[in-house]
Structure 1
Amino acid sequence: MKLSREREKLLNAIIFFCNNTKHCYKLKLMKLLYYLDFWHFKETGRSVTGLTYRAWDKGTVPTKVYWEIDPPNNPDDLKEFLYVEEEVYDEITGKKKFNIKAKKDFNEKIFTKREIEILKRIVEVFYDARGDLMKDATHLRNAPWDKTIKEKGKNAEIDYLLALDDESNSLTPDIVKDKILFDKQNREVLDSL
Structure 2
Amino acid sequence: MLIEHNREKLIEAVKFFALHTKKLGKTKLYKLLYFLDFTHFRDTGKPVTGLEYFAWPMGPVPVELQNEFPNPSADWDGNCTFKKVRTQAGEMLAVNATSTFDGTYFSKRELRIMRELANEFKDSTAEQMVERTHLENLPWHQIYEVEKRKQAPIPYDMSLRKQDADLMNESISDRQEMLTILRT
Give the TM-score band, short-chain normalised: 0.7 to 0.9
| Equivalence for 1:173 | 165
SS of the counterpart of 2:123? coil
Query: Which runs of no fewer than 5 residues in structure 2 stay unpaired?
Result: 177-184
1:77 aligns with 2:75: yes
Structure 2 equivalent of residue 13 of structure 1: 13
Secondary structure of the corresponding residue to residue 172 of structure 1: helix
Contact 1:45 1:179 in 2 (8 A): no
Decide which structure has the larger Cα Rg and report it. Answer: 2
Write the distance in 2 (CA, Å) between the matches of 1:103 and 1:65: 18
1:155 is the counterpart of 2:133:
no
Q: Matched residues in 2 for 1:100 and 1:118: separation?
A: 20
One of 97, 116, 135 as aligned partner of 1:140: 135
TM-score (norm 2): 0.86
Structure 1: state its 5+ residue gaps: 185-193
How far apart, in 2, do the equivalents of 1:182 and 1:15 lie? 40
Alignment partners' CA distance in 2, 1:181 and 1:16: 37
**Identity, % of aligned positions:** 36
Q: What's the CA shift for 1:113? A: 0.5
Identify the residue that residue 191 of structure 1 maps to in structure 2: none
Per the normalisation by structure 1, the TM-score is 0.82
Amino acid at match of 2:92: K
8 Å CA contact retained: 1:148, 1:158:
yes
How far residue 181 of structure 1 moved from its aligned partner, in angstroms, is 8.0
1:124 aligns with 2:119: yes
Structure-to-structure mapping, 1:16-165, within 5 angstroms: 16-70=16-70, 73-85=71-83, 87-91=84-88, 94-149=89-144, 150-151=146-147, 153-165=149-161
Q: Deviations over 1:4-44 (max 9, x none)?
A: 11110000000000000011111100100000000000100
Q: Cα distance 1:78–1:129, how it changes in 2: closer, same or farther (>3 A)?
A: same
Going from structure 1 to structure 2, the CA distance change for 1:181 and 1:130 (only over 3 Å counts) comes to farther
